[in-house]
Structure 1
Amino acid sequence: MIDKLEMFIALAKEGHFGRAAEVCGVTQPTLSSAIKQLEEQLGVQLVFRGSRFQGLTPEGQRVLDRARRIVGDTRALRDEMRALRTGLAGNLRIGVIPTALPMISDLTTPFTRRHPNVRVTILSRTSVEILAGIERLDLDAGITYLDNEPLGRVAQVPLYSEFYRLICAPGSPLAARAEVTWADLAGLPLCLLTGDMQNRRIVSQHLAEAGVTGLPMVESNSTIALLAHVMTGQWVSVLPKKLADLFVQSGRLKAIPILGPEVEHLVGLIAAQRDPATPLITALLDAARRVAEDSVR
């Protein structure tokens, strides 16, 4: 039954019998047969069929929600039994918002030092993609904002507060300023993250509150691309302080505090809320709490 539920989850995610079969490591006829057997066992039609996959029936959608919980609990049980036999091992998939990528090593370095048999995969994702990935079991955990948009029912550990800086080249007219206000950003040639990024929504919100339109001339889903544009001297950007600090030490960029008001947003670790959590997630949450404690000492 568990194998069939996993195939059903893969089909719902991929929306294609062939791709789902490839993900599951089986042939397409094997996957199709498993879905039909699952329908027979449950007594309902799960999938609209035609010449191709046409979506889930209403019953299929309800089964999908339960299937994710059942498969998640089963994986947690397997991990717990494996940890009892051989110690903590396995692979952690962590989705991270782009602005937090430079800080993820603060968590993963001590974690992997304590648990050397655990492999960590770090994936750059938007906050929305992180929540969806955790729900779909594609991600085990995420680093994202905790206080700006609804998270739903997830375990969470605050890691640090994000403050904001105007990033510009040394030759910029504002480079000599000790601080700026959000209103001072009016009319500047901005390059910002794309609108699907929560950081962009945060920045746009604070610009709007200061009466600034804040329409960027350049936008990207990569902070590296933004910094490369700022280094040309033609653009300025708004980025978190922790990220900015990594790039201003060379002297090629200036980071100016944005006040009036100074705003902060909480970034932290989230994971699916399960009781009990898997040994891997329990260990990761513990590591995040230690990182948070160290940051305030």
Structure 2
Amino acid sequence: MQTRLLQYFLALEREGHFARAATACNVSQPTLSAGISALEAQLGKRLILRNRRYAGLTEEGRAILPWAQQLVAAADNLMQAAAVAKGPLQGELRLGAIPAAMPAVGPLVEALLERHPGLNISVRALTSRQIERELTAFELDAGLTYLDFEPPSHMLAAPLYVERYMLAAAKGVLDEGRTPSWEDVAALPLCLLHQGMQNRRILDARLGERGLALRPVVTADSYVALFALVRQGRLCSIVPDSHAMLLDGLDWVRTFALPEADEGSRIGVIVSDRAPLGPLAQAVLNIAREIPNIT
């Protein structure tokens, strides 16, 4: 069985559209359709529901999906292992990162490229749940996410740093000589990440232990959006201290250290716990274990 045919099948399931799947595979739509028909003929099963357009997978298609993902990933890792036996690590490394950990992407990627200059690195902003799901489906090589709260299962992990909170406000909104309490913060007009983001769920859980609840005026899924809202002067936000470096030198914003809500939240690299571990996943894990605290 040709892995190319399985790649067509996986691309169609992922994209949900014949033309987009063909583009992702760098082939024409007729070539992709013929390849999937050939795969169905080899298996003697109909895998795709068709009603003039893609309409999902059949029961047989859903049954073979995880096996197709494993076979394609194994073939990719086989090629990588052969290539790096006597040469440098090359290819595309796919990294998913939660928004809260985006400032750590710079030092991590820099360390990777210093060790493996032949790599191309693709970074995507994803939720913690998306990272775990895409690692399981072989669509990512590694993730950068929380390690302790809602801990990912069946993963190998390497801690990078501990995240703590800070309050961000426009210049002149708050008394800069006073450290606000959590009770003060809960009474402020806030903009925060929405509750689909793990950072927000951790924050809510920690403050819930103190009998406090946050009721933001605006929610978003991006720290860029939160900072843009803070800059207008009406709202404040609670953000990770790792973002402080991104605000250095900006005259419109002030940041305030907050009382420790807990011991902090560990953020680190995760890869799927599989044996053997693919060369790309192993490379990220090795770097994460070797570099010092990166915030």
Q: Structure 2: how far apart are the matches of 1:57 and 1:173?
A: 59
Which region of structure 1 is more displaced relative to structure 2, 231-240 or 171-180? 171-180
Shift of 1:174: 4.9
| 1:146 CA drift (Å) | 1.3
1:224-273 Cα shifts (integer Å, max 9, x gaps): 22123223332111111121354255564333333363351111111233
Report the CA distance between 1:216 and its aligned residue: 1.5
**For residue 84 of structure 2, what is the aligned residue in structure 1?**
83
**AA matched with 2:43:** L
Partner of 2:201: 201
Question: 1:95, 1:142 within 8 Å by CA — same for their partners in 2?
Answer: yes
Measured after TM superposition, the shift of residue 93 of structure 1 is 1.7
Q: Where does residue 98 of structure 2 map in the other structure? A: 97
- CA drift at 1:279: 1.9
Which residue is 1:15 aligned to? 16
Q: Offset of 1:214 from its aligned partner? A: 1.6
Q: Separation in 1 of the partners of 2:138 and 2:194? A: 26
C-alpha distance after superposition, 1:206-233 (max 9, x if no partner):
3333343422212222212212322333
What is the rounded CA distance, in whole Å, between the counterparts of 2:237 and 2:131 in structure 1? 24
Q: Name which of structure 1's ranges 38-47 and 233-242 shifts more when overlaid on structure 2.
A: 38-47
CA contact (8 A) 1:162 1:266 kept: yes
Report what 1:295 is aligned to. 293
Give the match for residue 186 of structure 1.
186
Contact 1:168 1:175 in 2 (8 A): no
| 8 Å contact from structure 2 (residues 190, 237) kept in 1 | yes
Please report how far the alpha carbon of residue 12 of structure 1 lies from its aligned counterpart in structure 2 after TM superposition.
0.8
Give the whole-Å Cα distance in 1 for the aligned partners of 2:88 and 2:174: 57
Amino acid at match of 1:295: N
The match for 1:59 is: 60
Equivalent in the alignment of 2:277:
277
Q: Is the 8 A contact 1:203 1:238 kept in 2?
A: no
Answer yes or no: is 1:242 the counterpart of 2:207. Answer: no
Q: Cα deviations across residues 44-73 of structure 1 (Å, max 9, x unaligned)?
A: 221222222221122211200111111111
Residue in 2 that maps onto 1:164: 165
Q: Are the equivalent residues in 2 in contact too, given 1:180–1:257 (CA < 8 A)?
A: no
- Cα shift at 1:85: 4.3
Superposed displacement of residue 4, structure 1:
1.0
Assess if the C-alpha contact under 8 Å between 1:159 and 1:288 holds in 2: yes
Tell me, yes or no, if structure 1 residue 223 matches structure 2 residue 226: no
Q: Is the 8 A contact 2:164 2:260 kept in 1?
A: no
Are 2:142 and 2:270, in contact at CA under 8 Å, matched by a contact in 1?
yes
Structure 1: tracts of 5 or more residues without a match:
none
- 1:180·1:256 contact (CA, 8 Å) conserved in 2? no
Q: Which amino acid aligns with 1:63?
A: I
TM-score (norm 2): 0.90
Alignment CA distance shift 1:184-1:83 (3 Å): same
Q: Decide whether aligned partners of structure 1 residues 58 and 247 sit closer, same or farther in structure 2, where only a CA change above 3 A counts.
A: same
TM-align CA RMSD? 2.2
Report % sequence identity. Answer: 38
Offset of 1:95 from its aligned partner? 1.3
- Which residue number in structure 1 is paired with residue 136 of structure 2? 135
Q: Is the 8 A contact 2:231 2:253 kept in 1?
A: yes
Residue 110 of structure 1 aligns to a residue whose secondary structure is helix
For residues 293 and 53 of structure 2, what CA distance do their matches in structure 1 show?
A: 53
Would the aligned equivalents of 2:229 and 2:235 in 1 still touch at CA under 8 Å?
yes
Provide the C-alpha distance between the structure 1 equivalents of 2:248 and 2:185, rounded to a whole number of angstroms.
20
The separation in 2 between residues aligned to 1:233 and 1:93, in whole angstroms, is 38
Distance 2:293 2:33 in 1: 51
Q: How many residues align?
A: 293
2:259 is aligned to 259
Show the counterpart of 1:121. 122
